[in-house]
Amino acid sequence: MPPTPFQPSPISQLRALLAVTRKNWIIFLRYPNWLVVFIIWPVLFPLGYIFTAKALGGPEGGAVGNFSALSGTSDYLSYIVIGSTFYMWLNLTLWDVGFQLRQEQLRGTLESNWLAPVPRLSLLVGGSLLSLGTSLFFLAVTAVGFRLFFGVNLVSENVGLLLLILALSVGSIYGIGFAFASLVLRFREANALVFLVRGVFMIFCGVTYPLEVLPGWMQSVASVLPLTYAIGAIRAVTLHGAGFADIAPKLIRLAVFAAVLPVLGVAAFYLMERRARHTGSLGHF
Amino acid sequence: MRGNSPQRTLRSQLRAVLAIAKKDALHFLRYPLSAAFQVLQPIIWLTPVYFMGRSFAGAGGSGGFAAYAGTGDYMSFIIVGAVLSSYDSAVLWGMGYALKTEMDAGTLESNWLTPVPRPLFLVGQTLASLALTTLTSAGVVALGWLLFGFRVTGDVFLAALVTLPLLVALYGFGFAFAGLVLLLKEANTLVDVSSFALPLLSGAQFPVQVLPPLLLPLSLALPLTYGYDAVRGLLLGTKTLVPIAYEVGILLVFMGLMGVLGYTVFKRVERRCQRLGTIGMH
């Protein structure tokens, strides 16, 4: 009598998901550099833009009025910190989620893990769970760091609205991360792709400047990127005290992105999986 | 009977350095997407600064920036900084990161058993990246001219001459840094943070006068600050921190100091790793 094939149950699938998360957690703790990533980077990264803005503003801040006329605020420090924090969140996700399958490939463990009787998606989602946890920690450190060192208050009175924007952004950012992971496996190259994707968001989403300075065609590109709305909504709530009704159009767009992008990300993953099976290229690097 | 140990000649060492550079160049070209992207990457960093400058500019141009730097042409100011900082990255990446790559690939121990002096390995690993940086910098300057109106008015040859002691000082940093990678077994974060923080503190993107009082002394203690400042003074006619001749003198002192210090640190760490047998670990 042939042996009964292994039937994965929801519990066994959940166990696999948590096992992947645990494995990533152990690797994460093994390299204490995360301390630097999460404590130094949030404050260090925006400084380049902040000091450049200070230089552009002039010794007496005479040119800040031009910035204020376009952005609606003379507080360029908070303006830049909000944009760059979202950018860094995306950057972290691209590295953590996008690079994790590629890392398995480089270590030579991807093929053997692929043969395990668990849904392959759990390899991707398991790593994303850890990434989400660490990203939330990163956001908290950024808020505390800028409060302490620069007196910038990134948390407005309307905490509920901020959390809603963050929750909707999670879907968009991780959807991009899933699709990105598949792209990295397809091209077997992570660095250049991370630079390219994050560069597109950096240029088009108004991370450090108001979108009004962009030419028309660039503003059109900005309007189809989720980060544009996430950054715009957070700036409106934090810097201008906007309420739910004021940012409702942005929230609706963010909600659509949050619903569509994860589905597209998972679809890209299955496409990549099918291609890898046809070409036998999963173990190549 | 003992076998004859290979005789190291200048020629054999040069061949070894070129072999390492060739290996790195082949490895680099193996990933064409990455190669093509080396030119685009600085443009991706420069574009947001360009638009940020526009958001601060009034009808009369970038008067605020000119009051600090002595020139309103902030894009040329920043492009010169970007090109110089790509050289400093090439040395740091070339040494520290290449060491980590060899560790991960498991080839460091076997390569280090060959009769090639280890510091020569590190120098060899920077040659390909320096050649590549020169090529990509030419691309960045051409794109900068096309997209952002980059132009220089000063003596390019003299400016290139000033970068030589700067480069030697960077090699000193690179040796010390490679020693640190050998100890910590981790390079990504170290390279990322240092190759970001060094140009930041040295004013690659802005005149260092805007730095807060706490960071300004740190900036003035770095040779890169004087290198960037002198090169900009020569190329763009910007206001310099001290007369350019003094800045060159400072660079020469740093060159001697960092060269010796970095090399000594690396040799000591290497000896320690040999004693503990940890070179192949990662």
> Residue A184 in contact with residue A265, Cβ under 8 Å?
no
Kindly state whether B260 is in contact with chain A, defined as any CB-CB distance less than 8 angstroms.
no
What local confidence, expressed as pLDDT, does residue B120 receive? Answer: 78
User: What's the whole-number mean pLDDT along residues B221-238?
Assistant: 92
Q: Does A95 touch chain B (CB under 8 A)?
A: no
Q: How confident is the model at residue B280 (pLDDT cuts 50, 70, 90)?
A: low
Residue A198 pLDDT > 80:
yes
To the nearest whole Å, the CA of A19 is away from the closest chain B CA by: 24
Q: Per the domain annotation, does B132 fall within a domain?
A: yes
Distance CA B87, CA A157 (A): 46
Q: For B146-152, which contacts have Cβ atoms below 8 Å and span 24 or more sequence positions? A: B147/B43, B147/B47, B147/B50, B148/B46, B148/B50, B148/B75, B148/B79, B149/B73, B149/B75, B149/B76, B150/B75, B150/B76, B150/B79, B151/B73, B151/B76, B152/B76, B152/B80, B152/B235, B152/B236
Q: At B228, is the pLDDT very low, low, confident or very high (cuts 50, 70, 90)? A: very high
A285 contact B CB<8A: no
Q: How far is B5 from chain A (nearest CA, A)?
A: 37
Number of domains composing chain A: 1
**Parent domain of B150:** 11-52+62-276
What region does A206 belong to: left with phi over 0, alpha with psi -120 to 50, or beta?
left
Which residues partner with A252 through β-bridges? none
- A115 has pLDDT over 90: no
CB contact B37 to A (< 8 Å): yes
User: Using the beta-carbon criterion (under 8 Å), do A66 and B196 form an inter-chain contact?
Assistant: no
Distance CA A53, CA A64 (A): 9
Which of the residues B44, B52, B202, B215 would you substitute to probe the A interface, choosing the one with the greatest number of A C-beta atoms within 10 Å?
B52
Nearest-Cα residue of chain B relative to residue A64: B56
Mean pLDDT on A210-237: 93
Q: Please count the structural domains in chain B.
A: 1
Q: Which of A160-174, B108-122, B229-243 has the weakest average pLDDT?
A: B108-122
Q: Which two tokens stand for residue B278?
A: 């940890």
Residues from chain B contacting residue A107 (CB–CB below 8 Å): none
Confirm or reject contact between B41 and chain A (CB < 8 A): yes
Of A35-39, A69-73, A182-186, B122-126, the one with minimum mean pLDDT is A35-39
pLDDT, tens only, B165-185: 888 888 888 888 888 887 776
Which chain B residue shows the shortest CA-CA distance from A62? Answer: B64
Distance from CA of A220 to the nearest CA of B (A): 16
Which segment, A126-135, A207-216, B7-16, is predicted with the most confidence on average?
A207-216
Residue A169: the pLDDT is: 92
Chain A nearest CA to B160, separation (Å): 25
Judge whether B197 is closer than 8 Å to chain A, CB to CB: yes
pLDDT tier at A209, thresholds 50, 70, 90: very high
On whether residue B169 sits in a domain, the answer given is yes
* Structural domain contains residue A5: no
Percent of chain A surpassing pLDDT 90 = 29
Residue whose C-alpha is closest to residue A206's, from A224, A226, A222, A217: A222
Is A44 within the bounds of a domain?
Answer: yes
Is the CB of residue B33 less than 8 Å away from at least one CB of chain A?
yes
Q: Is the pLDDT of residue A1 over 60?
A: no
Considering CB atoms only, which of A37, A61, A189 is closest to B31?
Answer: A189
Please judge whether A203 and B48 are an interchain contact, meaning their C-beta atoms are less than 8 angstroms apart. Answer: yes
**Nearest-CA neighbor of A33 among B91, B170, B180, B202?**
B180
What mean pLDDT comes out for the span B76-98? Answer: 83
Per the CB < 8 Å rule, is B67 touching A59? yes
Pairs of residues, one from chain A and one from chain B, whose beta carbons lie less than 8 Å apart: 131
**A22 within some domain:** no
The answer to the question of residue B203 being in a domain is yes
Residue A2 has a pLDDT of 59
Range of the domain at A91: 33-58+65-279
Question: Which of the given ranges, A33-42, A101-110, A272-281, B148-157, has the highest pLDDT on average?
Answer: B148-157
In a domain, A78, yes or no: yes
Q: In A75-188, which ranges are E strands? A: none
Contact B51 A209 (CB under 8 A): yes
Does any domain span residue A7? Answer: no
Over 80: is that where the pLDDT of A89 sits?
yes
3-state secondary structure of B58: strand
Q: How far apart are CA A244 and CA A161, in angstroms?
A: 7
Using the predicted structure, report yes or no on whether residue A107 has a pLDDT greater than 80. no
Buried b (16+ CB within 10 A) or exposed e, A209-241: bbbebbeeebeeebeebbbbbbbbbbbbbbbee
Say if residues A58 and A195 touch (Cβ distance below 8 Å): no
Q: How confident is the model at residue B1 (pLDDT cuts 50, 70, 90)?
A: very low
A199 in B contact zone (CB under 8 Å):
yes
3-class secondary structure, B61 = strand
At residue A285, the pLDDT reads: 60
Q: Do A52 and B48 touch (CB under 8 A)?
A: no
Residue A11 lies in a domain: no
Measuring CA to CA, which residue among A196, A166, A206, A194 is closest to residue A49? A206
Cross-chain CB nearest to B55 (options A51, A59, A71): A71
Residue closest to B202 by CA, chosen among B171, B245, B232? B232
Structural domain includes residue A187: yes
